[in-house]
Structure formats: C-alpha cells, structure tokens
Structure 1
Amino acid sequence: MTKPIQPTMTGAYYAQCVISFGLALASVAIGIAYLPVDAWIRAFLAVAVLSTVTSSFVLAKCVRDRQELGNVSSRVDQARLEKLLSEHDPYKVDAL
C-alpha cells in the first residue's frame, strides 16, 4: 500500500509568508503612527490591530488543529480497515 503524499512547505514560501506578514503589520503601524488624530485614537487603533493579529493566529491554529484531528481519525479508520482486510480469508468455509 502506498503512503499518501504529505504536502511540504518550501523555504521560499515560508519566507514569502513571513515577509508579507511583516510588511503588512509595518504598513499598518506606520499608517497609525502618522494618522493626524489624537494619541488616544492612535492607541485604540494599535490595540485593535494587535487584537486582530492575535485573533488571526488563533484562528489559523484552530483550523490547523481541526485538520490534523481529521487526518488522525482518517488514519485510525484506515488502520482498522487494513486489519479487517488482512484477517479476512475469502476462501474460508464456516462450519454450520
């Protein structure tokens, strides 16, 4: 039986993700810093951005955990099926 192909992440893709996240966060931070409003409004916007970033990380982790749980369940079911198939003898005659 062949093993399922596991997706891999290249170093370039990882670097692109980190760089794009850093640029987006830096752009928002610079935009908030140069916004012509009072300091308390800038502070509120900064806290809102940090909350959004934190929530996005938590959501990504939840999605990943759910996917991994599905993969584990699928592997357990596959192992049970393989065990049943290996124990099954189609030529065995049951005594009546």
Structure 2
Amino acid sequence: MTQPVKPTTTTAFYVQAILSFAISVAGLAVGILYLPVTTWVRSFLALGLMYVVTSTFTLAKCVRDRQEESTVLSRVDQARLDKLLAEHDPFRAD
C-alpha cells in the first residue's frame, strides 16, 4: 500500500502570507490614523481592526484543528481497514 502524499507549505508561500497580512494590517492602521475624524471614531475603528485580526486567528485555528482531526480519523479508519484486509483469508473454510 502506498501512503498518500501529504501536501506541505513552501517557505515562499509562508513568507508571502505573513507579508500580505502585515502589509494589509499596517495599511489599514495608517489609514485609520490619518482619517480626518475625531479621536473617538479613530479609536473605535482601531478597536474594530484588532477585533477582526484576533477573530481571524481564532477562525484559522478552528479550521486547522478540524482539518487535523479529520485527517487523524481518516488514518485510524485506514489502519482498521488495512488490518481487516491483512487478516482476511478468502480461501479459509468457515
């Protein structure tokens, strides 16, 4: 039996994702900073930005955990099937 190929994330993709996130957050923060509004409105928008960022990290973690859980369950099911197939003898008389 061949093992399925596990996809891996390249370093370039990882760096690109980090840079993209940093640039987007910094751009929005600068936009909020230079917005011609009162301090209260600016503070509210900054708080909203922080809430969106933390919610995004939480959602990404939940999605990753669910994906890892399904992968583990899939491997357990595959191991059970492999064991049953290894123990099965079609020529054995019952």
TM-score, normalised via structure 1 length: 0.96
**Structure 1 residue runs of 4 or more that deviate by more than 6 Å after TM superposition:** none
Please name the residue that 1:61 is paired with. Answer: 61
Please name the residue that 1:8 is paired with. Answer: 8
Unaligned runs of 5+ in 1: none
Please name the residue that 2:74 is paired with. Answer: 74
Task: State the alpha-carbon separation in 2 of the partners of residues 33 and 60 from structure 1.
Answer: 27
User: CA RMSD for the aligned pairs?
Assistant: 0.6
Task: State the alpha-carbon separation in 1 of the partners of residues 58 and 89 from structure 2.
Answer: 49
Q: What's the CA shift for 1:20?
A: 0.6
Q: What's the CA shift for 1:48?
A: 0.3
Count of equivalent residues = 94
Q: What's the CA shift for 1:40?
A: 1.0
Please name the residue that 2:32 is paired with. Answer: 32
Q: What's the CA shift for 1:50?
A: 0.4
Task: State the alpha-carbon separation in 2 of the partners of residues 71 and 11 from structure 1.
Answer: 23
Q: What's the CA shift for 1:37?
A: 0.5
Cα shift readout 1:58-79 (whole Å, capped 9, x = no counterpart): 0011011111111011001000
Task: State the alpha-carbon separation in 1 of the partners of residues 71 and 44 from structure 2.
Answer: 41
Is 1:51 the equivalent of 2:51? yes
Which protein, 1 or 2, shows the higher relative CO under an 8 Å CA cutoff with sep ≥ 6? 2
Q: What is the DSSP-based 3-state SS (H/G/I as helix, E as strand, rest coil) of the residue aligned with 2:44?
A: helix
Percent of pairs with identical residues: 59
Larger radius of gyration: 1
